[in-house]
Structure 1
Amino acid sequence: MNRLEVARAGLMVSVQARPRTGYLAAGVSPSGPMDEAAFRIAQALVGNGDDAAALEFAQFGGSYRVSAPCMVAVTGGAAQVTINGRAMPLWESHALRPGETLEIGPMRGAVWGYIAFSGGIAVPELLGSRATHVRNAMGGFEGRVLAEGDLLPLGESALAPPQRLTEIFHYPQGPIRIVAGPQDDRFDSRAWTLLLTEPFSVSSRRDRMASLLDGPLLRAIGGHDIISDATPAGSIQVPGSGIATMLTAERQTTGGYPKIATVISADLPRLAQMPAGKPFHFVRIGQDEAEARLLAERERVEAAIRSIATPV
């Protein structure tokens, strides 16, 4: 069996796969990739299917070796990627052979990166997914982030011609779109004016569970304690501190703070990828538009995957 060796671990490197669905009532949030589009494109570039697992890292990728030839692709943002010192473009697949070292440097213009290996990372499924839930210490590789010296099993694969996108995949620009949250009536017009007119940025205090947002403090006129209820991905909850907090892949399944708004699904990966300190604005839209935006984004990703081809 082909094995993947972690020669030097990057930051927050974990095995990720399709989200683990159907267990919210048991207190298990879905986990899965923070940026599903970049994850899926990486998998498609090396010929993997939807059930395969890959690596996710934050900001710095690390170094890796394999025991048998395979194809590898790195996506997510911009970074220096080399194989035995030879520069390799991101968003393309490349051959990685035994004795060679894949190195991924700091990510620029994004936070989360993905490393896909042909054959996929062959960790066992747990509750229907190979994804690591770091907070719950379950799934993936021993339920944890990777460390130097770890050896992970890879599925069988063969070297194939390199693949790349024939249409450049880019992250949209513009404001982050939100819909009103389930407790929007606990916030008065002043809080909404601050949310929709003042700039925010993602704080450096972020992980796979949540991202704190730097910006004006928001006050709930109805109080900051509620009977705990469900927390969808993208929920912007506001505790007593007034600091808006966006919940992400490993969020708690219920929460007792009011949620003023929810980032629409189409924009959630873009906000997750936004570098700390970069200012942005929120804009409020309706539910119908949010659903239309999600369908359009899904088609955009599918079109990118369909465009993958062998360079001429």
Structure 2
Amino acid sequence: MIEIVETGPFNTVQDLGRQGYRDIGVSASGAMDPLAVRIGNILVGNDEGAAAIEVQTFPFGLRFDRRTIFAVTGADGAPALDGVELLSWCAYTAEAGQVLELRHPPSLARAYVSLGGGVDVPAVMGSRSTSLRGGFGGNAGRPLVKGDRIALGDSADIVPVPASGLAVVEPVVALRDVFPDFVDGTLPVRALPGGEHALFPDDGDAFWSQTWKISSRSDRTGYRLSGEPIKPTTSIEMRSHGVVPGVIQVPPGGEPIVQMSDANTAGGYPKIAGVIECDLWRLGQARIGSRIRFVRSTHAEARAVEQAVARYVEDVRNTSAMVKRALRAMA
């Protein structure tokens, strides 16, 4: 069990999402940075899809009521246990009564707290993710509030306790060869031309060539982008069609919307492009006001990035398993 001692709005329980129900209008939800959740869960000995806490408003704090292994991944702020600063992307063991604090990170948007055994809230449609718009899943379908007491699942890794300090090189460093760095403070985001790309003049040049800003009207459903409006060459009426996270639609006002984790299940705006899946976690870590620029990609490049991420996760999984086997042998 953990108790929430400090929180802000929109901090929720999330896992890797509620798959397979978009045909009946149910959004997948899930973590905005799923890679951080996967790595955090591996570090604490959970299945990669176990539920964690997504923190996007800071400061945040929780108190442990039993000995618990935990890891903080995602955002680049330094967590602290009873005031002692810790490393992110590293497994630690907390004792009963200790308090974990997360301060405002310097540049990224979201941190994830993975806990041994996972956050044990009821699964709804196969997922423990919170759907704020639907009011279900997670902790009674709502954000966490001060005083909430949340159960944890059983963890085989509590006894023997894995050594504190089992850590990984964070993805942005380990995968720097496949994820382009910021250019003059602007995040490059790779995308593929969408179904209605041909409707926009000059091969969509106004979309690809300019720098966009993530608007204050953005949330987990979609990032609204501010910039020079783009318009199709002709006005068209479209029937609603299925959309998924990463799809970039252009409403009549001409400022694109990138569908995110709580993406609508259908929509009728023209689709100019789609963010490649492996770049979505970086976009999920971009704050309101961040500048982004779309880079035209290919299916081959998207596949190569996917394979590089898979190798990274597999390496973390294998290393973690090896260390834990050694610890059990020594116990």
| TM-score normalized with structure 1 length | 0.92
Instruction: For residue 112 of structure 1, report the CA deviation from its aligned partner.
Output: 1.5
Instruction: For residue 220 of structure 1, report the CA deviation from its aligned partner.
Output: 1.8
Structure 1 residues 300, 43: CA separation in 2 closer, same or farther (over 3 Å shift)?
A: same
Which AA in structure 1 matches 2:172?
Answer: H
What residue ranges of structure 1 are gaps of 5+ in the alignment?
Answer: none
Aligned residue number for residue 134 of structure 1? 132
Aligned residue number for residue 78 of structure 1? 76
* 8 Å contact from structure 2 (residues 39, 48) kept in 1: no
Structure 1, residues 286-311: CA drift from partner, whole Å, max 9, x if none? 2333233223223233334434458x
Aligned residue number for residue 184 of structure 1? 197
Give runs of aligned pairs for residues 229-244 of structure 1, distance below 5 A: 229-244=241-256
Give runs of aligned pairs for residues 101-140 of structure 1, distance below 5 A: 101-140=99-138
Q: Provide the rounded CA distance (Å) in 2 between the counterparts of 1:48 and 1:163.
A: 17
Aligned residue number for residue 173 of structure 1? 180
Instruction: For residue 168 of structure 1, report the CA deviation from its aligned partner.
Output: 4.1
Question: Of residues 140, 143, 147 in structure 1, which corresponds to 2:141?
Answer: 143
How many pairs does the alignment contain? 309
Aligned residue number for residue 220 of structure 1? 232
Aligned residue number for residue 184 of structure 2? none
Instruction: For residue 61 of structure 1, report the CA deviation from its aligned partner.
Output: 4.9
Give runs of aligned pairs for residues 192-203 of structure 1, distance below 5 A: 192-203=204-215
Aligned residue number for residue 284 of structure 2? 272
Structure 1 residues 51, 178: CA separation in 2 closer, same or farther (over 3 Å shift)?
A: closer
Aligned residue number for residue 161 of structure 1? 163
Instruction: For residue 86 of structure 1, report the CA deviation from its aligned partner.
Output: 0.9
Which AA in structure 2 matches 1:117?
Answer: L
Question: Of residues 280, 301, 311 in structure 2, which corresponds to 1:299?
Answer: 311
Q: Provide the rounded CA distance (Å) in 1 between the counterparts of 2:73 and 2:111.
A: 6
Structure 1 residues 31, 136: CA separation in 2 closer, same or farther (over 3 Å shift)?
A: same
Instruction: For residue 263 of structure 1, report the CA deviation from its aligned partner.
Output: 0.6
Instruction: For residue 234 of structure 1, report the CA deviation from its aligned partner.
Output: 0.5
Question: Of residues 94, 97, 119 in structure 2, which corresponds to 1:96?
Answer: 94
- Secondary structure of the residue that 1:18 maps to in structure 2? coil
- Secondary structure of the residue that 1:280 maps to in structure 2? strand
Instruction: For residue 181 of structure 1, report the CA deviation from its aligned partner.
Output: 0.8
* 8 Å contact from structure 1 (residues 15, 56) kept in 2: yes
Correspondence 1:251 to 2:276: no
Structure 1, residues 245-266: CA drift from partner, whole Å, max 9, x if none? 1001111100011110001111
Aligned residue number for residue 282 of structure 1? 294
- Secondary structure of the residue that 2:278 maps to in structure 1? coil
Q: Provide the rounded CA distance (Å) in 1 between the counterparts of 2:206 and 2:310.
A: 31
Percent identical: 32
Structure 1 residues 222, 178: CA separation in 2 closer, same or farther (over 3 Å shift)?
A: same
Which AA in structure 2 matches 1:20?
Answer: R
* 8 Å contact from structure 2 (residues 121, 139) kept in 1: yes
* 8 Å contact from structure 2 (residues 89, 169) kept in 1: no
Which AA in structure 1 matches 2:140?
Answer: E
Instruction: For residue 59 of structure 1, report the CA deviation from its aligned partner.
Output: 4.3
| TM-score normalized with structure 2 length | 0.87
Moved more, 45-54 or 24-33: 45-54
| Alignment RMSD (CA, Å) | 2.1
Larger helix fraction of residues: 2
